[in-house]
Amino acid sequence: MNNYRPRSIAEYLRLLSSRKYLFVLAGGAMLAACLLVVHRIPDTYESSASIVVTGKDEDRQMVGSRVAAATQRLSSREFLEPIILEHHLYGIKDGDSSMIDGAVGRMRKDILVEPKYREDYPEAVSVSYKNPNPQTAQQVASELVSVFVGMNDAIQQQIEREEESSKEEMTEIEARMRQVGMDKAGQEYRKAVQSRAQTEMNMARAQKLAASSSIEDLSNKQYALQRQIEEQKRQIAAQEKVAKSTPAPSRDGSSAGALLVRKAEIEGQIKQFSTQYTAENPKMVQAKAQLSAVEDEISKLESQSGGAPDASSPASNELRSMQRELARMQIDLDVTNRELEHRQQSLGGSSPSAPAASMVGNAGPIAIGTDSSGRPDDEGLKTRYTSLLTRQDALEREKVAAAGLGPGVFQIVDPPAVPRSPSGPNRVRLVLLAVGLALVFGLVLVAAVEMPQLTKISSTSDVEYYLGTPVIALIPEHLTPMETRRERKLQALRVVCSILLAGALIPVLVMIFNASQLFQMVANH
């Protein structure tokens, strides 16, 4: 038939009712397979812990970052892998790391971390773990909570280090402040001594300024002449050696003269250094070594020449000129000495500035810690000391227990315990899902079997529809006794085969459900 006759709902239900044994067998097989799968799903036990997050309002952002870091730590492979290997979770045996990736993924699904926020800042964290073994669930949950305990320990150690550092710095500042106080007292004393000495010096200087000015000038002149005479004598001695070392013109004369000049220069340097450096100073040691080397060279040249000096040589002429200059200096010195002696006798021969200078010299140097502007840095020390006291008080408050709990940012108010009753799966929901699948499977299978009958003439309504004439009478089907027995046997055989087919379908459906993990996924949500 090319035309398809539409049928009413009652006719569809009549067709389905004719195959009710098939619906019962198909639905029963599906229901049995689903119940087997549901029965094999193990009970899961959930161990949870509640953690309260404490902290000051100004530290909320830092506390939030710590909560985020702890949450990321709980889902990291580096943290989960040792726990899986230790407790042999998800079928992982000792030394078996081939399936560790899948185990880590499954464990991440079984771990539930729920932070509770207030105004975008965490105030509590709930950590839970599901496992078929209640003891294992409690042990793993305790290890998860240990992340927060370890962070508390790290924060506590940091607070202790900061407190110790603050105490050390405060001790150092106290010592410096005491030193500044002592320096201030010494400074005031030195200022007083200097002021008194300066007053006495000014008075003595005012009384004898006119008379002492000439004496000071003569003393300076006397000192300058004495130094000049000493220097002139030294140069004359050096020039005499030069004159002696050149008895006659020779090729070594120039070198001997140069050595003598060099010796005179070195002796002048040593004399100048002696007023500035000690004998152990590297410059003094180097100059003496050079002088010794030059003297050795001069001695060698004198031993080689062995002659008398030449009176007409330039060196001899220079020597006589230097001797005449020395005589003139000595005459000037004698005149200055006589005049100075005469002035001192007239003024009593006393120095007006000696006592006051002695008093000032005994005051000692002024030493005190100062800042860049030259003022004592005790104000900066006091400011830093106050800030350290404030910081130490804040650290002490962080160490004090909050609301009767232990110290730390993360307060474990409800530690993990061994669960006494399973938390899942929801078997009522799984059974309802199994019943629904059984009904749908039975209806779909019966509809598939009866679908070909819809295109055939199987009732009086089909005859009237396709022929366009009403049905007047029906001839009933009549079977012989043998045909009746044969039909009953075939019917019984079909029923037995259907039951066996339904029984064989059960393990197939169980395998399909286990492979698809349908009920496991529903149980985990």
Distance of CA 135 to the CA centre of its chain: 38
Confidence at residue 14, expressed as pLDDT on a 0 to 100 scale: 61
SS3 call for 246: coil
Q: Are 491 and 17 in contact (CB under 8 A)?
A: no
Residue 303 placed within a domain: yes
Residue 381: name the closest of 172, 165, 188 by CA.
172
Given a cut of 60, is residue 440 above it in pLDDT? yes
Q: Verify cis geometry, omega within 30 degrees of 0, for the bond prior to 476.
A: no
**37 lies in the same domain as 70:** no
Confidence at residue 489, expressed as pLDDT on a 0 to 100 scale: 85
> What average pLDDT does this structure show over 423-442?
85
Confidence at residue 355, expressed as pLDDT on a 0 to 100 scale: 47
Domain containing residue 137: CATH number: 3.30.1890
Residue 452 placed within a domain: yes
Residue 198 placed within a domain: no
**143 lies in the same domain as 246:** no
Q: Are 28 and 391 in contact (CB under 8 A)?
A: no
Q: Which amino acid is at 441?
A: F
pLDDT band per the 50, 70, 90 thresholds, residue 360 = very low
Query: Half-sphere exposure (CA, 13 Å, Cβ side) for 189?
Result: 12
Is 377 or 368 the better-scoring residue by pLDDT? Answer: 377
Confidence at residue 366, expressed as pLDDT on a 0 to 100 scale: 41
Q: What gap in Å lies between CA 453 and CA 487, rounded to an integer? A: 21
Q: Report the share of the chain in percent with pLDDT over 90.
A: 2
Given a cut of 80, is residue 389 above it in pLDDT? no
Residue 315: name the closest of 367, 223, 422, 240 by CA.
240
Residue 511 placed within a domain: yes
Confidence at residue 100, expressed as pLDDT on a 0 to 100 scale: 85
Helices 427-450 and 9-17, packing angle to 10 deg: 100
Whole-structure pTM value: 0.47
**410 lies in the same domain as 451:** no
Long-range contacts of 361-367 (CB under 8 A, 24+ apart): 362/193, 363/190, 363/193, 363/194, 363/197, 364/190, 366/186, 366/187, 366/190, 366/191, 367/183, 367/186
> What average pLDDT does this structure show over 391-415?
64
Q: What gap in Å lies between CA 329 and CA 21, rounded to an integer? A: 153
The range of the structural domain enclosing residue 266 comes to: 209-350
For tokens 């007047």, the residue is 472
> What average pLDDT does this structure show over 500-507?
83
Given a cut of 70, is residue 287 above it in pLDDT? yes
Residue 390 placed within a domain: no
pLDDT in tens, 1-22: 455 555 555 655 566 565 677 7
> What average pLDDT does this structure show over 384-411?
64
Residue 271 placed within a domain: yes
Confidence at residue 397, expressed as pLDDT on a 0 to 100 scale: 60
Is 103 or 359 the better-scoring residue by pLDDT? Answer: 103
**65 lies in the same domain as 17:** no
Structure tokens at 73: 């730590």
Is 70 or 209 the better-scoring residue by pLDDT? Answer: 70
For tokens 């150092």, the residue is 172
> What average pLDDT does this structure show over 172-181?
82
Number of domains in the chain: 3
**24 lies in the same domain as 68:** no
Q: Which residues contact 4 (CB under 8 A, 6 or more apart)?
A: 454, 455
**25 lies in the same domain as 67:** no
Q: Of the spans 41-55, 265-279, 303-317, which averages the highest pLDDT?
A: 41-55
pLDDT in tens, 107-160: 888 898 888 887 777 888 899 998 888 999 899 999 998 888 888 888 778 777
Is 464 or 500 the better-scoring residue by pLDDT? Answer: 500
**147 lies in the same domain as 32:** no
CA distances for 386 relative to 59, 166, 230, angstroms = 21, 11, 65
**125 lies in the same domain as 72:** yes
Last residue of a domain, one of 314, 331, 350: 350
Average model confidence (pLDDT) across the chain: 75
Confidence at residue 268, expressed as pLDDT on a 0 to 100 scale: 77
Is 447 or 41 the better-scoring residue by pLDDT? Answer: 41
Give the helix ranges, DSSP H, for 123-247: 134-244
**157 lies in the same domain as 283:** no
Given a cut of 50, is residue 352 above it in pLDDT? no
Residue 295 placed within a domain: yes
Output phi, psi for 374, to 5 deg: 90, 0
Given a cut of 60, is residue 194 above it in pLDDT? yes
**216 lies in the same domain as 345:** yes
Query: Half-sphere exposure (CA, 13 Å, Cβ side) for 477?
Result: 4
Given a cut of 80, is residue 430 above it in pLDDT? yes
Burial class (CB in 10 A: 0-12, 13-18, 19+), 279: exposed
E strands, 324-428, are 410-414
Query: By mean pLDDT, which of 16-25, 60-69, 265-274 is the weakest?
Result: 16-25
pLDDT band per the 50, 70, 90 thresholds, residue 372 = very low
Residue 195 placed within a domain: no
**34 lies in the same domain as 53:** no
Q: What gap in Å lies between CA 340 and CA 343, rounded to an integer? A: 5
Q: Report the share of the chain in percent with pLDDT over 70.
A: 74
Confidence at residue 247, expressed as pLDDT on a 0 to 100 scale: 53
CA distances for 521 relative to 108, 177, 280, 524, angstroms = 15, 72, 93, 5
Confidence at residue 390, expressed as pLDDT on a 0 to 100 scale: 76
Given a cut of 80, is residue 208 above it in pLDDT? no
**86 lies in the same domain as 151:** yes
